[in-house]
Structures are given as structure tokens and as C-alpha cells.
Structure 1
Amino acid sequence: MTVFAMAPDGVRIALHELGDPDGSPVLLIHGFSSNAQRNWIDTRWGDALAAEGLRGIAMDLRGHGDSDRPSVGYTVPHFLDDVDAVLEQLALPEAPGAIGYSMGARLLWRHAGTRQHAFRALVLGGLPAGDPFQRFDVDLAHRALRSEAEPGEMESFVVELAGIFPEHDPATLVTLAGEVSHTLFDPELAPPSAPTLLMTGDKDRRASDTRELLPLLVDGRFEEIPGRNHVNAPVSGTFRRAASRYLAEHLRG
């Protein structure tokens, strides 16, 4: 059953349950152009979480999945407010763990870094040390989406991802990427203090510099996901099991 949290601007954020319903809670946040169903549910993360006694709560980012898709309102502060709204809706007795992938990992880094007691432990997958949207031209991407211009490398990547799943609106996702790019990811501004496991595919060219984030963490660890790139890492059994095991170790007791 899908339930909704209400963001401060009235946007509904869809929440999906997986794993052990009586387990320790873990918030899951997918990447750009994905959604909870594609990133976590269809890829059997529920089995891995349940095996470690964890209850997964997967949110659809605004503009994705079953969440609302406003015409504007995709700045970084909007996404941070959405996580706050989800945590308020859940009203958990203690801080949960969290797993994020790619854009979801950047969001969790920012959220946990500015709200140091929001999460007890983090697993961040496919997280680059820089911001992939820093060279993104949103107007060019919109023209490319309408076949009116030849996109650059970053615009081509975003347009391709925006159209990968039929349940999404590509123009909305291009707008989203443009608004997010107004606040570039700077991991040095406010690193998380919670124990954090970083995981990246050993064939991931988009996040090949993840290890550079380790010195910023008080309690950080890095593990490679063998044989995976940025797109297919979330379906890795190694990723599922290592992430679930790490969070179970930090959420027990």
C-alpha cells in the first residue's frame, strides 16, 4: 500500500514499504529518473533487508514514481524539505538508517550533514565526489528533448535517462535536473557525522572518485561493487547484502 507525506509546498511524496514490517526502519532514496519500484522493490532489496531484520521505507522523489510532479519546485531545499516531511510523517521512536543511490545519495549526504541526528547510519551508493550537473545546460536539454538542438555530453546523458521509464515525464525530469544544478554538490560544506558506508561499482565512470570522500567522514568505509557500472549497481546482490548487513550492525541495540 502506498501512503503519502505532505511537503511544505503541498507536494505529495509517495512512500512504499518493503522488508521486515517489524524491523528497524531504513529510509531508501533512489537516483535521478528511477523510482522506489524500479530501484528497490523490483530488484529484491526487500529480501536483503528482511534477512537482516530491517524495515524499508522507500520514498519516490518529487517528479518521480507515484509522487507529485509540479511544473517547478525542484531545488535542493525542496528535496531536503521532502525528507524532513517523510521523517515527520513516519514519527519513528528513534532515528532510522538510510540508503541512497546517486542523486539519492547526494541528498542524504546533504540532509545528514545539516541535520546531524536525523539518521543513525548511512549507506551511499554511486556517489561522486563532485556534482554531475555542474556542466548541465537545461535550455539546451529541453531543445534536445524536442529534437530542436544537438545536446552536449551531459545534456545527452540527462535526456536519455529522463526518457528511460515510460511512467515518467521527460520534460519534468529535465526541469528537475536544471533546478538541482543551481545548487552544486559540495561535500566539504557539511559532511555527515553518522557512520557511513560508501559503495560504488568498479566499472562506474560517473562515480569513480567516491574514495576521495572518505577523509571527510568521521566514521567512513568504502567497498566496491564488483562488475557493476552506475546504471546496474542497484541490482547487485553484493550491494544489497553489504548495505543491509552494515545498517543492521549499526541499528541493533
Structure 2
Amino acid sequence: MPRQHAAGNAAALLADFLAFACKQQDLAVPTFQSDGLTLAFDVAGDGKPVLCIHGFASSGKVNWIDTGWVETLVGAGYRAITLDNRGHGRSDKPYDPDRYYPQDMARDAVALLDHLGIERAAVLGYSMGARISAFMAYEYEQRVACAIFGGMGMNLINGLSDGNDIISGLLAPDLAGLTHPTARQFRIFADHTGADRQALAACMETSRQPMARADVRRINVPVLVAVGEADEMAGPPGPLAELLPEGEAFVIPKRDHMRATGDKAFKTAALEFLSRTFPE
């Protein structure tokens, strides 16, 4: 057989093998169904369950695994459950903004607990994930033992003022001329993670829906509100904690919105909170 022809066959066989391997890897991703969507999740460890809900433009892996949260929770004796929200990670990504209200994604979180046969869990959310956690704690109180709202203070009620700028940044053809700092930050982050920017833009339209102050007052589970000292996106944690019947605030020292996610002090405060409100 000519050497060139043999090399071509070898390359074709390698390509077929890699395609098969990728397909098998995709098949191995644990998924569940919610609202007609296929959503991905991961579970690590044993013990009492902590459902981790990631922030906008992130994923379970980026928000919780890569930052050491899963390792921290498992090391403390908990079972860490990470979810890829609709529009993110390995989950389905609809382009219809009407599919991304926080109530819809709170139902996804409950559907995952149902899928896993879990009656009640602690919920750890960051940024958008904290908003989802708040709606979950309000509407499905019996399923939530306690909650941690990371990267979300009074803007749970006041809303996100930069939302339209973030949408424009996500849909812009490139970074050139994109000067709004928050929009530029999220666009770079989305490009870095290979996210579907059209799905993210649809998500931003409706997932930032504020929660009514009266509803915040009716969240009757223990809540830790943890916000970075230099976080300009979340709003202050203290006033939100004061509205919550069982709220307490924690300021993450010297951290902004992006850098607070995996902060050691944040993890320490969260574990201490869980030890009191959801002991292993």
C-alpha cells in the first residue's frame, strides 16, 4: 500500500475514533428533564446535599468545580450537586427570552432534586444563581433547608442596571468599540468559556427580574448573604439580610464580583453557616 494512502487511512481512523470518544463522553453526562429541556448536572461526595446554582455566563464546572467549591464541600462531608442552568454549559440553550425567568430556573432546580430523590437540600447560589435560589426558597420553602446568596445583595430587589449594556456587548460582532466595563467583562468571559452568546443575551433579558420586597420578607429559611467588599454589581448585603426573617450578612474582604466566587473567606463563612443551619 502506498505510504501516502496508508497515512490517509490512519488519519481517517483517528478522526473516527476521536468523534466516537467525544460522543461517548457526551453520553456520559448525567442529565434530567425540566420544562421540555435537557439539563446537565454533576454529583460529588456523600452526606447531606448542597445544590450549587451558578451565575450568569458561567457553568457548574466554572463556578463550582474550578474554584474549589466542590472539593471544599465534599471535604466537609457534604454531597455537592452542580447544575448547568438552561442556556449554559452542557444544558439546552433556548433563544426565547420567555424561557429564562428566575421562577422557571427555580423549577429546574426543584426538578433536579426530584430527579435525584432529594426531599430537602441546602442551596448555594452565586449572582444569577443567588437570584434563582431566592425564588426557590420563596416558592419551594419545604425543599430548601437553608440558602447562601453569594454575589447578590440589595440588587435582588433593585435589579441590575447594566443588563441592557451586557446584552449589547454579548451581541456585538467583536470587542472593538465595546467600552462599557461590565459589558466588556462579560463578553470576554463568555468568549473565554465558549458560551452561546445569543442564548446568554436571551437569558439576560428576563433572568434579572427583581424580587418584590414583600416576597423577600417571606423567605422563611436561614439565609447567608455574602457579597464582596468591592462588588459594585450585587448591592450591599446588610440591608438585604435585615429584610430576611433569618438573614445574616457577610462581607467578603477585598473582593469584587468576579473575584469573590472562590474566595477562601467566603468558603469558610459558608461552611460555618452550613454547620449551624444544615449540619452534616
Taking structure 2 as the reference length, what is the TM-score of the superposition?
Answer: 0.79
Q: Deviations over 1:60-90 (max 9, x none)?
A: 1111111111222222332122122112112
Letter in 1 for 2:64: W
Contact 1:196/1:217, CA 8 A, preserved across alignment:
yes
Instruction: Supply the distance in 1 between the matched residues of 2:269 and 2:82 (Cα, whole angstroms).
Output: 18
In the TM superposition, residue 128 of structure 1 has moved relative to its aligned partner by 2.8
Instruction: Supply the distance in 1 between the matched residues of 2:181 and 2:205 (Cα, whole angstroms).
Output: 11
Instruction: Supply the distance in 1 between the matched residues of 2:170 and 2:123 (Cα, whole angstroms).
Output: 37
Change beyond 3 A, Cα 1:149–1:185: farther
Instruction: Supply the distance in 2 between the matched residues of 1:65 and 1:250 (Cα, whole angstroms).
Output: 30
Runs in 1 of length 4+ with deviation above 4 angstroms?
147-155
1:61 maps to: 85
1:233 maps to: 260
Q: Deviations over 1:90-128 (max 9, x none)?
A: 211x41111000000011111101222121111111103
Change beyond 3 A, Cα 1:219–1:48: same
2:136 maps to: 111
What does 1:189-208 align with in structure 2 at a 5 Å threshold? Answer: 189-191=215-217, 192-208=219-235
Choose the corresponding residue for 2:101, options 61, 75, 86: 75
Letter in 2 for 1:30: H
Gaps of 5+ in 1: none
Letter in 1 for 2:137: A
Change beyond 3 A, Cα 1:142–1:199: closer
Question: How many aligned positions are there?
Answer: 248
Higher relative contact order (CA 8 A, sep 6+): 1
Taking structure 1 as the reference length, what is the TM-score of the superposition?
Answer: 0.86
More helix by share: 2
Contact 2:141/2:221, CA 8 A, preserved across alignment:
yes
1:37 maps to: 61
2:21 maps to: none
Larger Rg: 1 or 2? 2
Letter in 2 for 1:202: E
Contact 1:25/1:55, CA 8 A, preserved across alignment:
yes
Contact 1:33/1:161, CA 8 A, preserved across alignment:
no
In the TM superposition, residue 164 of structure 1 has moved relative to its aligned partner by 4.1
